[in-house]
Amino acid sequence: MWTTTLAQCTLQTMLKRSNSVLACHTLRAGGRPGWPVARSSSTSLRTNWMQLREHGTQATARLPFTPLWTSTAVKQVRSLEQERLLEVEWEDAGQSLYPYTWLRDNCQCPVCTLQSAQARSLQLSQLDIHTGVDQIQFTDNKVSIVWPDQHTSEFDPEWLKKRCFSSAARQALQEELFLNERVYWGSELQIPTASFEEVLRDDKAALAWLLALRRTGIVCLKGAPVEQGQVTRLSQRIGYLRLTFYGHTWQVQDKPQANNVAYTSGKLSLHTDYPALHYPPGVQFLHCLSQANEGGDSEVVDGFHMAERLRREDPEAFRTLTSLRVDFTDTGADYCDFMVQSKNHIIDVDSDGQVVRINYNNATRDSVLDLPLHQVQPFYCSLHAYVQLMMRPENIVTYKMEPGDLVTFDNWRLLHGRKSYLSHPDQVRHLEGAYLDWDEVMSRLRILRKSVHGESKNQQAP
């Protein structure tokens, strides 16, 4: 039985199924779903999570809404010919609407779907995007549709209900799929911990680790063997490592003629790794093999939290850093020789304005600044404001890794740094590092979630 702080935190709160009202009900009621707050009597959980909630950032970092698909019993189905919609009325008083074109496009029969790959076989060029229907009925617990060409499609009520087009249902399903909600934090954070060996051998421990990594952005795995190769072992629990110009793995040590500022004993300012790539690695592993006697403390800041603070405190600076693209560069030789160049926003936002990635490394920010003259000073003022915000003591978490610690963190969200240290021949500071992409990490998270919790008859969202 694994009983780490991370296990208690994640399994008792983040995976707890809520008794929320079905999201599809809002189609009729016109309301907005609530956002439940995870609670637990665990002292360690309160230490790690209650403080985060009390940090005053929940307006922008809510815990996930997880609807319970309580009933998929169909009361009746009917065709809305003028709107070209199928209406499903559920026994629990909710209702859902489905466009004809979408239903025909997603026919689940063996002709239209390759069952072995769960992939669509129907070609879009063959789809009548203005199709009507000949017949709709509900029989044998299936919604059956006969199309004008006499092709028949059957849909399971659970499958349909999970794909309800109401705003609340879509939001809930997207959260289930991508876990985009975050818990923001400052210097009060106690970094979640778990056992390295338990994560390797136990699916529940691995799932708890990845959920905490996604929500909080950082987890320290304790007790890894103090020898090289452990970041590779951990990556195999997920899938595979991200190869970069520095190799599949890389050794962070004080090196002569260093080809990276990390390979010195000097201070590293807060940064994300590899903004010189247009698609920087999403997750970073750092395994401590040997620590310096003096100095070498690590620092991390929640870049998403700081971006939201900047949005509130200096909206013009936020607009500047989300709209202007900045040049980054990295040149040298390691795994192979390289000369990379990119243009990135310091703060990336999605189409809804939500912060999705931070791209900032002062060491590789290029002297080339492809901006009109009148935008140069506003850019410097905006970046300076963001950096000064991050450097406030109440926003920085400082910790010192010990041999056997393997820190895993979100490289798109966290900025990390290091205090300078003294190098001694008899005590060489040595970390081994590696990268992964979020696509691989989220893939493993979904697989583990299915393995641990299964897919219940009622399609409960974990």
Q: What is the pLDDT of residues 47-93, one digit of tens each?
A: 343 333 333 343 334 333 344 445 789 999 999 999 999 999 999 88
Cα–Cα distance, 435 to 444 (Å, whole number): 15
Among 205, 167, 215, residue whose Cα is nearest residue 52: 215
pLDDT tens digits, residue range 290-302?
A: 999 999 999 999 9
**What is the token pair recorded at 53?**
């909630």
Q: Is there a contact between 154 and 136 (Cβ–Cβ < 8 Å)?
A: no
Average pLDDT over residues 237-254: 97
Q: Residue 209 pLDDT > 50, yes or no?
A: yes
**What is the token pair recorded at 225?**
């063997």
Residues, the chain: 462
Task: Give Cα 291 to chain centroid, integer Å.
Answer: 30
pLDDT computed for residue 7 by the predictor: 45
Average pLDDT over residues 217-227: 98
pLDDT tens digits, residue range 100-140?
A: 999 999 999 999 999 999 999 999 999 999 999 999 999 99
Cα–Cα distance, 41 to 43 (Å, whole number): 6
pLDDT tens digits, residue range 354-391?
A: 999 999 999 999 999 999 999 999 999 999 999 999 99
**Mean predicted lDDT score pLDDT of the chain:** 87
| Phi, psi values for residue 346, rounded to 5° | -60, -40
pLDDT computed for residue 265 by the predictor: 87
pLDDT computed for residue 6 by the predictor: 61
User: What pTM does this model have?
Assistant: 0.86
Among 154, 160, 152, 20, residue whose Cα is nearest residue 89: 160
**What is the token pair recorded at 307?**
């971006």
Report the sign of the C-alpha dihedral through residues 359, 365, 370, 374, in that order.
positive
Residues 6+ positions from 269 with CB-CB distance below 8 Å = 362, 363, 417
Give, in order, the Cα–Cα distances in Å from 59 to each of 396, 409, 417.
Answer: 21, 23, 28
Cα–Cα distance, 199 to 212 (Å, whole number): 13
Range with lowest mean pLDDT among 205-214, 342-351, 419-428: 419-428
Cα–Cα distance, 285 to 102 (Å, whole number): 42
Angle at 158 between CA 152 and CA 160, to 5 degrees: 55
Cα–Cα distance, 37 to 53 (Å, whole number): 9
Using CB atoms within 10 A of its CB, is residue 393 exposed (0-12), middle (13-18) or buried (19+)?
Answer: exposed
pLDDT computed for residue 378 by the predictor: 98
Q: Residue 270 pLDDT > 50, yes or no?
A: yes
Band (pLDDT 50/70/90 cuts) for residue 172 is very high
Q: Per DSSP, which regions of 376-456 are E strands?
A: 396-399, 406-410, 414-418, 430-436
pLDDT computed for residue 5 by the predictor: 55
Cα–Cα distance, 385 to 431 (Å, whole number): 32
Cα–Cα distance, 26 to 168 (Å, whole number): 7
Residues 6+ positions from 374 with CB-CB distance below 8 Å = none
| Sheet arrangement for strand 152-155 | 135-139, 142-146, 152-155
DSSP, res 458: T
